[in-house]
Amino acid sequence: MKTLKIAIQKSGRLNEKSVELLKNCGLSFENYKSSLISSVSNFPLEILFLRDDDIPEYVQDGIADIGIVGENVIAEKGVEVSFLQHLGFGKCTLKLAVKNSSEIENVKDLEGKAIATSYPVILKQFLNQNQVTADIRTISGSVEISPGLGLSDAIFDIVSTGGTLKSNGLKPFIDVMSSQAILIGRKGSENNELIQELIQRIQSVLRARETKYVVLNAEIKNLDEIVKLLPGVKSPTIVPLAEEGWVAIHTVISERDFWEKINLLKSAGAQGIVVMPIEKIIF
Ligand code: PRT
Ligand code: ZN
């Protein structure tokens, strides 16, 4: 079968998590910082390490079959690719922000104003949708210092914690787009068997990340109430303990309502609760 090529970021915010995800999918490869390409020894896959800005076009043009990149970069490049799987890392929001002292409060106030950004295409689309014409100043980095230097009235940039805006005396006032890392493929690549196999592996890793394996002890008299609180993959596994009248219950719990569930279980009589990470969940 033809060897697939996946493009991931060489260095930067998405590199480590992309490598970790591929390793968690059971793929074995060397991750030399100096190399541009690495072969996977136990799957017909080659990994290309690139600048994130190049990944959408490489995938669109078929130089790579698939790639991992931020949705923001795909939107900015305006490429035609298939969206195969959200990956849950690299989360951020593209926001408009102004100086704390600014009187700009809503999108209409941007009419005729100068806005600095590294994302002119996404910004232009947003302004067009709102029938606002502004002076878009494209700069490649350190966008956040631009209002302080008097180079722009506003900025349009990526925000994750908001710390950078704050330390530059800026406040966000409109969220334009949320973004996370995504697996993309050339148009039609979703029908490729190897790509489907890889997506399945990725999904099993992502599912596992969202859940915890929980073992707890309970008296049989409390069993019904406890089981009602537990969905499990199918239903919980119940095994008798050596001590008469007691059982151990094995189940999985979603990370989202984890603490709420644990507290409810304790109130229902659960004891000796042990929580473990899960590596993969395969349906
Ligand atoms: O070298 P290469 O071109 O590959 O990388 P790059 O420098 O262009 O990108 P990189 O590594 O900085 O980011 C890669 C991707 O990570 C982005 O395209 C986003 O999809 C995603 N991402 C997630 C972020 C952030 N969070 C983020 N906070 N990208 C950039 N930032 C920057 C932002 O530009 C701003 O300067 O971090 C600062 C804001 O962070 P906070 O936490 O202070 O709000
Ligand atoms: Zn980049």
Q: Which atom of ligand 1 is nearest to the CA of 144?
A: 36
Predicted pLDDT of residue 232: 63
pLDDT the model gives residue 8: 97
- Residue 215: which of 164, 253, 245 has the closest Cα? 253
For 84-137, write each residue's pLDDT tens digit. Answer: 999 999 999 999 999 999 999 999 999 999 999 999 999 999 999 999 999 999
How do the domains of the chain map onto residue ranges? 4-89+180-208, 92-179, 211-277
From CA 19, how far away is CA 39, in angstroms rounded?
13
pTM above 0.75, yes or no: yes
Rounded to the nearest angstrom, the distance between the alpha carbon of 171 and the centre of ligand 2 is: 24
pLDDT at 233: 62
CA nearest neighbour of 4 among 182, 180, 183, 181: 183
Q: Which helix (H) or strand (E) holds 194?
A: helix 193-209
Amino acid residing at 78: G
Average pLDDT score over the chain:
95
Residue 184 C-alpha to ligand 1 middle, in angstroms?
19
Domain 211-277 has CATH 3.40.50.300: no
The CATH code of domain 92-179 reads 3.40.190.10
- Nearest bound ligand to CA 11? 1
Mutate which of 92, 122, 166, 183 for ligand 1 pocket (most atoms within 8 A of beta carbon)? 92
Residue nearest to atom 39 of ligand 1 (CA): 159
Which pLDDT value is given to residue 283? 83
Find all residues with CB under 8 Å of 128, minimum gap 6, and list them. none
Ligand 1 pocket test: pick from 160, 165, 175 the residue with the most ligand atoms within 8 Å of its Cβ: 160
Output the residue whose Cα is nearest ligand 1's atom 1: 51
Asked whether this chain's domains 92-179 and 211-277 adopt the same fold, the reply is: no
Instruction: Please give the number of the atom of ligand 1 that sits closest to the Cα of 162.
Output: 44
**Ligand 1 atom at minimal distance to the Cα of residue 13:** 11
Ligand 2 centroid, distance to 8 Cα (angstroms): 12
Residue nearest to atom 34 of ligand 1 (CA): 158
- Alpha carbon of 194 to ligand 1 centroid (Å): 30
Distance between Cα 83 and ligand 1 center (Å): 20
Enumerate residues lining ligand 1, CB below 6 A: 9, 12-14, 51-53, 70, 72-73, 90, 92, 157-164, 179
Q: What is the pLDDT of residue 74?
A: 98
pLDDT at 137: 98
Rounded to the nearest angstrom, the distance between the alpha carbon of 53 and the centre of ligand 2 is 5
CB-based burial label for 96 (10 Å; 0-12, 13-18, 19+) = buried
Which stretches of the chain drop beneath a pLDDT of 50?
none
Q: What is the CATH number of domain 4-89+180-208?
A: 3.40.190.10
Helices marked H in 7-141: 15-24, 55-60, 71-77, 120-129
Q: Ligand 2 centroid to 141 CA: how many Å?
A: 10
Atom 28 in ligand 1: residue holding the nearest Cα: 160
